[in-house]
Structure 1
Amino acid sequence: MLPWLEIAGWVGSALVVLSLTQARVLRFRWLNLTGSVVATAYNAIAGIWPFVAMNAAISLINVYWLWRLNRERHDAAVYEVVEVAPDDAYLLHVLRTHAADIAGFAPGFVAVPEPGEERSAFLVQRGDETVGVVEVRDAGDGAGVVELDWVSKRFRDLTPGEFVYRRSGIFAAKGFDRVVVPRAAPSEHAYLSGMGFRPQDGAWVRDVTADGGG
């Protein structure tokens, strides 16, 4: 067997194995697709037809799910935004369960609001699964400060938090005329820009219009 062909076979196998270690849905699908395509070609050249059929089928399954995930990533019918009280028992359970991951996004975030602090909390649901949490504090003068914008690892590539910002009517109903992210890492800038935020005085600001639009 040609050395380059054997190397290709090992690369395909390694990619399939690596894909199984991924928590993110999209990353898993892309790695698994790449590995299965390489494995299909390898087995076809080697004439191992049962494995050609198996890996070709896996490739088609991955293509289907990638198409579906990308089609649904901006589909409001797939994700639901549910407002809950900041001290809601289920919300606090979600925050406790994912506390270590959340700390990486918002190191200073405190799950239980301080006495007198006005905060709004929103769960992002995909069916019966909670895939994100957004919490906004009323800072007065029409400003809502984003205390937390967190998405679970599985759906981090799909940015389901956008549905909270796209439904700006929920912010207008709170009396906000703008939503502010006071600090953002460079890696978050593209996401915030895509959500309609703009840089302003070291922060990121998204206007909330009177009719609830973004």
Structure 2
Amino acid sequence: MTFLEIIGYCGSALIALSLMMKSMVRLRWINLLGASTFATYGFLIGAYPVLALNSFITMIDVIYLFQIYYKKDFFEIFPVQTLHTSFLKRFIEFHDKDIRYFFPDINYDNIENPFVFFILRNMLPVGLFIGESKGLGILEIKLDYVIPNYRDLKTASYLYKKRRDHFLHNAFRELEIFTSVAEHIKFVKRIGFNQDIERKDRFFLLLDK
């Protein structure tokens, strides 16, 4: 196999991999890398139709990524009084498999006095938050779920940075979450949670600092 063939196969593999991504951001980034690699391959072997097509795809990916990162979205917290509302139950039922990938041990029936709200993004319910008060100003996060197409950290940034007041106004000074899911651990660390020194599956965020 020649070096040029390796470039071509890598480009094809990246484009195929991008189509398997649930996250639109990951899809665009991987597709961008694949298309640009394949465009380079087309240029090197003199296949100009391949170069033209993949250069166009690369340009489209860049445009979409620019819109994703710089488009101004409208966010809002929509409180829910109970876990038994029809829409909330339907939302959980529809996304149950994906929810349990990140929260495999969640048991809604065991959550006492739940602190619940949807996160709306441009009036679409893209996230669901369920917490349980542990006293002393601590809120344990039982569920913090965002639907796949909106996992670009904008929702998390809105909730944990711009809207800390929503927790503080409800007398919560600290958030904690317990998880051993590697992908979820990476996420909570990225948004500012600290790992407990004594208990490695516990992560916390102090809201008044």
Contact 1:134–1:161 (CA under 8 A) maintained in structure 2: no
Kindly provide the amino acid, as one letter, of the partner of residue 100 in structure 1: K
Q: Which moved more, 1:126-135 or 1:167-176?
A: 126-135
> Hey, what's the Cα distance between the residues in 2 that align with 1:197 and 1:22?
26
Q: Which residue of 2 aligns with 1:206?
A: 205
**CA distance 1:196–1:16, change in 2 (3 Å):** closer
> Hey, what's the Cα distance between the residues in 2 that align with 1:182 and 1:21?
29
Q: Are 1:89 and 2:86 an aligned pair?
A: yes
Q: Are 1:102 and 2:118 an aligned pair?
A: no
Kindly report which structure 2 residues correspond to 1:106-145, keeping only aligned pairs within 5 A, or say none.
106-112=103-109, 117-145=112-140
> Hey, what's the Cα distance between the residues in 1 that align with 2:7 and 2:190?
38
Q: Secondary structure at the match of 1:80?
A: strand
Contact 1:92–1:111 (CA under 8 A) maintained in structure 2: no
Q: Which runs of 5+ in 1 are unaligned?
A: none
Deviation at 1:169, TM superposition (A): 1.3
Q: Which residue of 1 aligns with 2:52?
A: 53
Kindly report which structure 2 residues correspond to 1:62-77, keeping only aligned pairs within 5 A, or say none.
62-71=61-70, 77=73
> Hey, what's the Cα distance between the residues in 1 that align with 2:185 and 2:121?
25
Q: Which moved more, 1:78-87 or 1:14-23?
A: 78-87
Q: Which residue of 2 aligns with 1:195?
A: 191
> Hey, what's the Cα distance between the residues in 2 that align with 1:7 and 1:187?
30
> Hey, what's the Cα distance between the residues in 2 that align with 1:109 and 1:53?
49
Deviation at 1:184, TM superposition (A): 4.7
Contact 1:36–1:56 (CA under 8 A) maintained in structure 2: yes
> Hey, what's the Cα distance between the residues in 1 that align with 2:182 and 2:6?
37
**CA distance 1:128–1:204, change in 2 (3 Å):** same
Length-normalised TM-score, structure 1: 0.79
Deviation at 1:128, TM superposition (A): 4.2
Q: Which moved more, 1:37-46 or 1:93-102?
A: 37-46
Q: Which moved more, 1:128-137 or 1:141-150?
A: 128-137
Contact 1:135–1:146 (CA under 8 A) maintained in structure 2: yes
Q: Which runs of 5+ in 2 are unaligned?
A: none
Contact 2:75–2:123 (CA under 8 A) maintained in structure 1: no
Q: Which moved more, 1:20-29 or 1:148-157?
A: 148-157
Kindly provide the amino acid, as one letter, of the partner of residue 19 in structure 2: L
Deviation at 1:136, TM superposition (A): 0.9
Number of equivalenced pairs: 204
**CA distance 1:16–1:92, change in 2 (3 Å):** same
Q: Secondary structure at the match of 2:155?
A: coil
> Hey, what's the Cα distance between the residues in 2 that align with 1:26 and 1:78?
18
- Aligned-pair identity in percent equals 26
